[in-house]
């Protein structure tokens, strides 16, 4: 089952939708569900969705609606250096703080950082940004956990943790500038509800970047290569923190393009996670 937020042609009203198959969105809004949050807080979410599916709801063809980011009111946070590939790449790009990546990869406490306020998150199809003052920019395709206020992982979506490698590599203290700027976070296209962590670890994460109609980078990683259990990341995220609206936690990247590669304006960035779908965004300079 997939949950989404969407609008239909001729209206700016935000609707909550259930996507039961490849072609259809069922509109939950006339049933009093104007927001996703109350749904995500339900203990019996899957049963509730199955019940909605059986009810006679108005429906729209999926291709006719505009999908908004499923991040409604949650802060977005991100875990880092959770894949060996990320640790290696960061150690190489960093002049004198290589050691911090090595240490955090094997430390008990994971790296977790704030990524975006909900209203700054970019939806599928909207542009993601590369900073005008950075010269080495990459997308980071990441499996995202949707966590409710009760700390339960209620679903999965796709995140793009856009990053400026030269800024981060110059000094690890520049991480917020490398990671948190206009259009640096895309999440979508919907939330998949139902799979377990074991099932999600079987998924494949793929990244493709095109330029001038040709593929200029393609890579993939099994999601199962993430080092830490999802529950451990969530437990640290909620330590001495409260998320009354829940949170979305990006789980880190396992795909890093070669050092010679940097994004350019106009590149479409396409991230596919086998159990979820595809998040595609064009790049602009911000
Ligand atoms: O340590 C810096 C950020 C790491 C990160 O974003 C990742 O591994 O995905
Ligand atoms: Mg990342």
118-140 pLDDT, tens digit each: 999 999 999 999 999 999 999 99
Cα of 52 vs centre of ligand 1, distance in Å, is: 38
List Cα–Cα distances, 120 to 21, 86, 127, 187, 241, in angstroms. 29, 25, 12, 10, 21
The preferred substitution site among 76, 77, 79, 80 for testing ligand 1, maximizing ligand atoms within 8 Å of CB, is 80
pTM: 0.97
Check if the beta carbon of residue 92 is closer than 8 Å to that of residue 259: yes
Ligand 1 — pocket residues by CB below 6 A? 78, 80-81, 86, 90, 111, 140, 161, 175, 252-253
Ligand 1 atom with minimal separation from the 101 CA? 1
- In this structure, the number of other CB atoms found within 10 A of the CB of residue 13 comes to 10
pLDDT of 241 > 90? The answer is yes
| Confidence (pLDDT) at 30 | 87
């Amino acid at each position: 089952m997939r949950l989404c937020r969407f609008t239909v042609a001729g209206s700016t009203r935000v609707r909550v939708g259930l996507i039961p198959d490849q072609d259809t969105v069922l509109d939950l809004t006339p049933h009093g569900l104007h927001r996703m949050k109350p749904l995500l807080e339900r203990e019996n979410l899957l049963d509730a969705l199955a019940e909605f599916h059986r009810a006679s709801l108005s429906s729209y063809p999926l291709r006719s609606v505009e999908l908004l980011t499923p991040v409604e009111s949650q802060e977005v946070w991100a875990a880092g250096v959770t894949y060996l590939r990320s640790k290696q790449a960061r150690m190489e790009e960093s002049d004198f703080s290589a050691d911090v990546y090595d240490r955090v990869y094997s430390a008990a406490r994971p790296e977790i950082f704030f990524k975006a306020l909900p209203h700054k998150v970019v939806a599928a199809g909207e542009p993601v940004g590369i900073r005008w003052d950075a010269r080495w920019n990459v997308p980071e395709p990441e499996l995202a956990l949707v966590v409710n206020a009760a700390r339960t992982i209620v679903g999965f979506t796709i995140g793009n943790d856009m990053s400026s490698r030269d800024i981060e590599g110059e000094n690890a203290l520049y991480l917020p500038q490398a990671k948190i700027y206009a259009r640096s976070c895309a999440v979508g296209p919907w939330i998949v509800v139902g799979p377990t962590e074991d099932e999600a670890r079987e998924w494949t994460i793929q990244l493709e970047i095109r330029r001038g109609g040709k593929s200029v980078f393609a890579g993939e990683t099994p999601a199962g290569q993430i080092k830490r259990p999802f529950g451990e990341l969530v437990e640290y995220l909620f330590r001495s923190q409260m998320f009354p609206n829940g949170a979305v936690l990006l789980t880190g990247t396992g795909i890093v393009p070669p050092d010679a590669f940097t994004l350019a304006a106009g590149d479409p960035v396409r991230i596919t996670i086998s159990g979820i779908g595809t998040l595609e965004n064009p790049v602009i300079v911000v």
